[in-house]
A and B are shown apart, each in its own frame.
Chain A
Amino acid sequence: MKVYAIYILNKAGGLIYQNDINPGLNKLSANDYLVLAGTIHGVHAIASKLKPTEFEPSSKPFGGEKEIPIESSATFSSSISVRDSTINNDVVNGRWNNPNTNNTGLRSIETDLFNVYVFQSLTGIKFILITSPNPIVHNVASLNLKINKGELNRQFDLAKEIFHNIYVTYSDYVMKDPFYSLEMPIKNNLFDSKIRELAK
């Protein structure tokens, strides 16, 4: 999986960082990149309205009692519970879990030419990763009715790994920069080079 580009969006969907690491994507005008960022931001919000409706298996017996659906009980609390459940793991691994709050929104886009992955932090910052497509999944012979399962999920796990590293780099080199003002474009050479390094 080759990383083509990394974008960072602020809470409002504005493009605050853009790094086209490897060639493979069309060069767009600056305005088009803003449109692109806004579109992904909007689609992410719309996609979270398309909820699946299976609820987690409930231990409660059937009956007339009302229950709050799991999806509705605020994404924030569910992300907290994820963190709580992994604390023991983190103690063992010595590493903190991704606080990914992207629970219901757009997660990935697969096309012939590239894949897009979206990661949202607790504070609403979106990290967008554009990578090369997966040849195993994309070159399926049209007559062969065998359907791959789970390969895209495995590739998403790889992307999650990269997101984790980007997030750590972001925390270290952008958030700890005393001259950085929140929600504004990131202009930091050190951050640039670190991102370039980890995407290689």
Chain B
Amino acid sequence: MIYSFSIFDRHCNCIYNRRYIHDGPLLTQSKPSSVNLKNSIGDPLGVSITSLPPDNGSGDNFSPLGITTKSKESGSSSAINGPIPGYINKYNDSNASKLLFGIMYSLKNITAKLGDLASLFNTLKSFSTENFRVHFMESATGLKFVLATDNEVDNLQHILKELYTNYYLNHVVYNALSPVEFGTDANEHGKISNSDFINATDSFLTSLSVFK
């Protein structure tokens, strides 16, 4: 199951963040209330969790890496952008994506140190916790492609490569209107909002056998 797809640029900015919401009858939907946003990380017990009423899209659930970030949505319908339910570029500046980048950065460093080879570029493949696995690829220009999945998925290196060579290059790099450096200024060019790229990567990722 693919939970989310993010791209970080070489300045540590999250320039694209796509979260997928999966249908699952066994999963209850519950979201932290908007009372204590700051508190929700340090003191998880202090966050009150309410279950939403059953008519409100009971199939939705949080993607991983998400609970610490955002306040309650007004309804699941507002969260859905486009045909595939999920969030597009909503959590780019959230603590979750910063923490994720930090983990990737640290692990990349220790991997490069420990590895006993001359060429140590891009050796880190993935890391996992009890609940999810994160797949990682870095391009030569320092772009980091990150996919969060469940623990069952073993290796998505070729998918990440495909996302870079076929989708990022064609829809973003070869696009004359897209900026060379994302995320350097705080305007709308800070993120990839190219709908062609979003639709193409969405349909590619959802077509994979591991998506569901």
Selected interface stretch from B9-17, B108-116, B186-194: B108-116
B58 to chain A, nearest CB (A): 7
Contact (Cβ within 8 A) B27 A36: no
A47 to chain B, nearest CB (A): 5
Contact (Cβ within 8 A) A66 B106: no
Interface: A103 (CB within 8 A)? yes
Q: A49-B99, A111-B125 are in contact. Are A149 and B152 (CB under 8 A)?
A: yes
Of all chain A residues, which has the CB nearest B158? Answer: A142
Contacts of A46 in B (CB 8 A): 99, 102-103
Q: A46-B99, A54-B24, A57-B26 are in contact. Are A68 and B49 (CB under 8 A)?
A: yes
Interface size on B, residues (CB 8 A): 67
- Docked pose: A192 CA to B111 CA in angstroms: 25
Contacts of B30 in A (CB 8 A): 55, 67, 69
Contact (Cβ within 8 A) A110 B127: yes
Hey, which bits of chain A sit against chain B, CB under 8 A? 23-26, 28, 32, 36, 39-40, 42-43, 46-55, 57-58, 62-69, 71-73, 102-114, 130, 137-138, 140-145, 147-153
- Fill in one digit per residue for B98-134: 1 if any A CB lies within 8 Å of its CB, else 0: 0110110011011101111100001111111111110
- Docked pose: A60 CA to B63 CA in angstroms: 22
Interface: B153 (CB within 8 A)? yes
Contacts of A104 in B (CB 8 A): 129-131
